[in-house]
Amino acid sequence: MDKIKPRQSKRALETSYEAAQILRAYWSDIHSAKEMGKPIAWASGVVPTELLYAFDILPAYPENYGAVCASKDLALPLCQMAMSKGFSTDLCSYALINFGDIFWEGPGKPEMPFGGLPAPPDLLITTRIPCLVQIKWWEVIRERYNCPMIVLDAPMTDGQATKEQIDYVADQLKQVIVQLQDFTHSRFNEARFLKALTLSDQAGACWHEITDLRGAVPCPVGSREMCGNVFPLVAQLGTQIPVDFYRKLRAELERKVAAKTGAIPVERFRLMFDNIPLWYNLELLSYVEQFGAIFVFETYLRYVWGGRINMSDPYRGYAEKLMSDVWLNMSLEQRIKTLIRDVRKYKIDGVVFHSNRSCKRFSLGQYELKEALEQELGIPSLIIEADHSNPGGYSESQTKLRIDAFLELLEERRRC
């Protein structure tokens, strides 16, 4: 396959440079908050972050921090430490990284990025919306630090939650508010909460528009860069920060799209990536670009955080947002429908499925998705076997060979 002149290492979007500043500011804020005795919650993915901000509790994300550790090549020693404490190698590697951190004993602990997770947590909050694993993981953290824990349950949905499902989660959210009042010994400030929801919805709306702008041909920004832009969405929904950041990003994208400036010089193949990226090998996402292919859409970026909130019925709207439109919480049938729709909408030529041994909830069903794509749209796809954070057993060269072959296949199909 012919290589196209390699792209300069610089980012496609100027705004992307601000993501790193936001990240640094977040970490320095959270450490100073901890020093000042402000409550810190260790929060798992898809918890009601907006509620925490409304109560002035800062969330820290062990899951996201696991990704940070993995991207800095620290996953292996941490996972190994966890395994030496009796945790199975088959557990989610985010959890193993965290266990390696919090149960570390003896010398040789790697220097933890950003000064480490602020420990001990004052509060734990978790949910089954993405997986049961988080609940089990948080129970271990609770054993370690013996602090209060809030759990939010939810059923999986067929994309859109039913009235009954919404009521179930909304009732629990009201209970969470009571738990947070008890925890903070302060009264719930509803106006503040509604403000947080509005900000969250604005950020969510903006994020959807950004996703859609990337649907332009040529695509203005690739996957690797966008993986670096997702942090404010993960951790700061309910604050002004993601709203400002994503508005700026959107404006820049709009200019690029109007000018038809693509992220790569010649865009020949548009790809979709399914599942969590390989944090220790993000380069894989941009690797394809030298061959004129670009990842323009990711289930992970679009369907985990940042949904819209029906503000005319805020509690139920919030409940609905938390559990709907989340890939991990969608039934297989809904995933198939959504995939088919998006492949059409974003003009995708091929899909790369990351079969991620760490995340069953994301990965199970991929074989069915692959088949449905082939049958309904005739779109080819590739399954690569890896893990989102633990590089053990992953072969970069093998994977690249398979991607090469996949691109060849796309090329051939285009020729006929």
For the CB of residue 44, give the shortest distance to ligand SF4 in the complex, in Å: 7
Segment contacting ligand SF4 by CB under 6 A, of 110-118, 130-138, 205-213, 255-263: 130-138
Look up residue 198 and give its two tokens: 């509005």
Residue whose CB is less far from other proteins, 135 or 377: 135
79-118 footprint of ligand SF4 as x/- string (CB under 6 A): -------------x-x------------------------
38-77 footprint of ligand SF4 as x/- string (CB under 6 A): -------x-----------------x--------------
Residue 94 near which of other proteins, ligand SF4, none (CB within 5-8 Å, type-dependent): ligand SF4
Residue 97 near which of ligand SF4, other proteins, none (CB within 5-8 Å, type-dependent): none
For the CB of residue 94, give the shortest distance to other proteins in the complex, in Å: 13
Residue 365 near which of other proteins, ligand SF4, none (CB within 5-8 Å, type-dependent): other proteins
Does 26 help bind ligand SF4 (rule: CB under 6 A)?
no
319-348 footprint of ligand SF4 as x/- string (CB under 6 A): ---------x--------------------
- The DSSP secondary structure of 26-54, one letter per residue, reads HHHHHHHHHHTT--EEEE-TTS-HHHHHH
Look up residue 278 and give its two tokens: 């390989």
**Which H or E element spans position 383?**
strand 381-386
Task: Give, as one character, the DSSP assignment of residue 160.
Answer: B
Residue 60 near which of ligand SF4, other proteins, none (CB within 5-8 Å, type-dependent): none
Does 235 help bind ligand SF4 (rule: CB under 6 A)?
no
96-101 long-range Cβ contacts below 8 angstroms, 24+ apart: 96/389, 96/390, 97/65, 97/66, 97/69, 97/70, 97/389, 98/62, 98/63, 98/65, 98/66, 98/137, 98/141, 99/140, 101/69
Residue 168 near which of ligand SF4, other proteins, none (CB within 5-8 Å, type-dependent): other proteins
Q: Which residues bind to other proteins, rule: CB under 8 A?
A: 85-88, 90-92, 95, 128, 131-133, 135-137, 139-140, 143, 151, 153, 155-156, 164, 168, 171-172, 175, 331-333, 355, 357, 360-361, 363-368
* CA dist., res. 177 & res. 196, Å (int): 14
Does 354 help bind ligand SF4 (rule: CB under 6 A)?
no
Task: Count helices and strands (H / E) in the chain.
Answer: 18, 8
* CA dist., res. 295 & res. 223, Å (int): 5
Residues pairing with 330 in the sheet: 157
* CA dist., res. 222 & res. 264, Å (int): 8
According to CB under 6 A, which one of 133, 263, 285, 372 is a site residue for ligand SF4?
A: 133
Contact 270, 348 (CB under 8 A): yes
* CA dist., res. 170 & res. 374, Å (int): 39
Contact 356, 388 (CB under 8 A): yes
Residue 63 near which of other proteins, ligand SF4, none (CB within 5-8 Å, type-dependent): ligand SF4
Does 304 help bind ligand SF4 (rule: CB under 6 A)?
no
* CA dist., res. 285 & res. 241, Å (int): 27
Residue whose CB is less far from other proteins, 179 or 239: 179
User: Given the rule CB under 6 A, which residues bind ligand SF4?
Assistant: 45, 63, 92, 94, 130-131, 133-134, 276, 328, 358-359, 361-362
